[in-house]
Structure 1
Amino acid sequence: MLDTEWSDSWRGAFRIELRAEAIGLAWRGWPVLPGTYPGAADSTESGSAWTEPVPAHEDWRQRIGAHPQQVAAWWTGRPYSLLVATGTMIDAIEVDDSLGRRAATLLRATGHPAPIVAMPNGRWLFLTTSTDNVPSMLTANEDVRYHGEGSYVPLPPTPFQHGVVHWRVKPEIWGWRLPAAEAVHDVLERALHGESAAPASAQPVFAAGSSAV
């Protein structure tokens, strides 16, 4: 999806859908934020042109945890992209398509796959609980990016160039529970080692009491 392809009808349709998703996530406690969108150079306070979704406001860190009514107001007039801040209740591990597919296969074998987001640029996001401890094997890999405190990731149906962000595994399938970060990190490490099947003794990956409801 290129900037020039964003007609008024597209903007209107996306605004309604993005607003509904943002409000729903905010009611569940997810730290959603408005992001920039195609064809709106003035949607950032700095006035820079849109290249990919980034927070629409320079003070976005102070907006984390806004009430759903405030979230609804943000999306009332513009088709802002839907971002979620990481490092508080939610983290994300970003990987390339190849690693993402291997890790998703391993997670499915456990019977408890994590919420997974796919972006049009070929990158996948594995959503987890927040943690300060990320294995060096992941942080040292140039194809892996950890999103923790001070970062953010896009959520569906945020537009990108050449496409729209979408769910590979929706969070509602698993009752909006977030998987334990350590368990997903372990699966990603195994996928980096080339493992293609989970052992028979695989344990559920959800943290005790973990929930985003």
Structure 2
Amino acid sequence: MDDVELPASNVTQDYLKAIYNIGEWGPEGASTSELAARLGVGAPTVSENVQRLAGAGLVHYKPYRRITLTVQGRRVALAMVRRHRLMETYLALQLGYGWDEVHDDAEQLEHSVSDRLLGRMDEVLGHPVRDPHGDPIPQPDGTVALPRAHRLADVTPGQPVRIARISDAEPELLREIADLELDLDTEIEAGSVDLSPDATAAIWVISA
């Protein structure tokens, strides 16, 4: 994956990364409406850009079906996801950012960081396999160690579980969860912590 040639367009990079992210913990690919919500643009803009990506051989696209990545599109997406999550990890562990603060700056920096700098950051961090939210960091060879996790909301109350991932989609939810002193690898019993429904849905767990 280190030899992946990234598209020059930041928009292309963002679309491919978004398609991967949306499908990472659920059904493969993304719908037009999911992409529009994730990227903050209208559905017609998404359709236009996705058709352009399909023409470039980066996505599979048919109207009213989920948009999925081609082999080349997935390679680019994984390279961008690796950049973003390594950047988030570096900001949190080396620069003291809170886990609710890292996303926006990482979004900006991922497009400009050089491969050499990214490699040095990876070394300094000890080659991490997950970011501050528990999302797996794709490795240089393209492998991804996705834990067999489930949403806390779907676990039977009373079952001992360990937190494996906390979605970073909403910073407010991250702050709510942090206020309860919950973090990655915290062990709890399902249903024992007073969380809002949205916060419960944002937490992914594995059996303790």
TM-score (norm. length: structure 1): 0.31
In proportion to residue count, which structure has more helix? 2
In proportion to residue count, which structure has more strand? 1
Q: Greater RCO between the two (CA within 8 Å, min separation 6)?
A: 1
TM-score (norm. length: structure 2): 0.32
